Amino acid sequence: MLPDVGAALPELVVPITPTRIVAGAIASRDYQDVHHDVPAARAKGSPDIFMNILTTNGYVGRYVTDWAGPQARIVKIAIRLGVPNYPGDTMTLTGSVIRSEEDGTVEVAVRGANGLGDHVTGTVMLKGLGQ
């Protein structure tokens, strides 16, 4: 079954902790100090460490395939970062189908919001749905 345009994805709540930020940074081999070193982050004008974009990308991909399932193929992820994910905050991912084609091409708009505003907005394109 192809999803209808406008269909909502179940939301995913991600608690933002220092451990989770560092785990994502290491798994994506991103050693920029602002993702693990609080004094270094402060020296660069940030109140705390913050999540790296590769981890955000990982969560966006996971969020969409949690819903789409193992038959789906992600063909494109395009994201824009807004406010940072700082420790102590919570990111809530929501999404909706914005395109659904007969050939199984589906596009989902994704938003990850935290206490400061939109951390991430973007789109994920999938193939192979409804087969």
Partner 1 sequence: METDPLYEKVSAHLADPPSDPVPAWDPVNQPMIRHWCDAMGDELPIYTDAEAARAAGHPDVVAPPASLQAWTMPGLRTRGFQDGTTRAQAELVDAGYAAVVATNCEQTYHRYLTLGDHLYAVSKLESVSTRKQTALGEGYFLTSVTEYRDQHGELVGEMSFRTLWFKPKERA
Exposed e or buried b per residue across 107-127, where buried means at least 16 C-beta atoms within 10 angstroms of its C-beta: bbebbbbbeeeebbbbbbbbb
Q: Provide the minimum distance between the beta carbon of 83 and partner 1 in the complex, in angstroms, as a whole number.
A: 9
Distance CA 30, CA 22 (A): 9
Return the number of the residue (4 or 118) whose C-beta is nearest partner 1. 118
What's the min distance (Å) between Cβ of 42 and partner 1?
A: 9
Q: How far is CA 112 from CA 81, 109, 126, in A?
A: 9, 10, 19
Cβ nearer to partner 1, comparing 97 with 119:
119
Q: Would you tell me which residues interact with partner 1 (CB under 8 A)? A: 14, 20, 23-24, 26-32, 44-46, 52-55, 57-62, 65-66, 70-71, 73-81, 84, 128
Comparing CB distances to partner 1, the nearer of 4 and 11 is 11
